[in-house]
Amino acid sequence: MLRETDFKELKLFKKGKVRDVYDLGDRLLLIATDRISCFDAVLPTPIPDKGVILTKISLFWFSFLKDITENHLISTDLSDLPLELESSKDDLRGRFMITKKCEVVPFECVVRGYITGSGWKEYRASNSICDIALPEGLIVPVLKDADQKGLLQIAEESRVLVRKAREGNLSVDEVTGGTFTITNLSMFPVDGFTPILRPPESGILGLCRVREKPAVYNGEIAIRSMMTVSLTWDHRVVDGAPASEFLQTLCRFLEEPTLIMT
């Protein structure tokens, strides 16, 4: 196991929770140790060969995406290590990368399935984690018995639910019990996405932006308003054929809204 490094012959650039980084002049030496971290704490007991596995994962993605985007990797060859580390090659085998020095772009996107422990306690008290303010989460109101209501009633109840959601006044009953979700990204330049199903719901429909595109209409090329819709459904509840029929019917209604009134 390799819990930490201390190569005094090299200039230490940074010591992270898992990786030790040394300055090689115009390059960096990244060494993945076997330390294990939990949030901002480093646990006392390392995991054997964790650093080797982390390095293999990184190398896989660098290789897989190399034809799509450049990366900072230069070498993982033991022969390219500095001469000062000749006696440590066996310890570093499979757990280091020599990389380019790159300019850091201070941007981070974190997606969490849930918050627990001290993070959840702080979030409930101050809407922040580690003193970093977080935006309000997505609230999905549930409109009950929609199949038994007309368009005007659905529109009015939807307005009430949206207002209560913005004010933070939704009851538990108004956010539970849903069976089908409609999610909308039309306000963003998104032409297609895959909405993720929320169990135990049976389906979710994703709506994208409307764009003007050339299309065949009445035997001629014309500029038409086009939109992509994406449907994700639970195959244990709905088979592919009825799901496709649903999309066909939906598209027909979108193309001819007057059909909804008949």
Give the active site residues.
Answer: 235, 239
How far apart, in whole angstroms, are the C-alpha atoms of residue 251 and residue 262? 16
Q: Report whether 125 contacts 115 (CB < 8 A).
A: no
Longest dimension (CA), the chain: 83
Measured in degrees and rounded to the nearest 5, phi and psi for residue 197 equal -70, 135
Residue tagged 């089908």 (tokens): 180
Identify the burial level of 95 via C-beta atoms within 10 angstroms of its C-beta, where 0-12 means exposed, 13-18 middle and 19 or more buried: buried
How far is residue 230's CA from residue 192's CA, in Å, rounded to a whole number?
7
Burial 112-124 (b: 16+ CB within 10 A, else e): eeeeeeebeebee
* Whether the bond into 200 is cis, omega within 30 of 0: yes
Pairing relationship of beta strands 19-23 and 41-42 according to DSSP bridges: unpaired
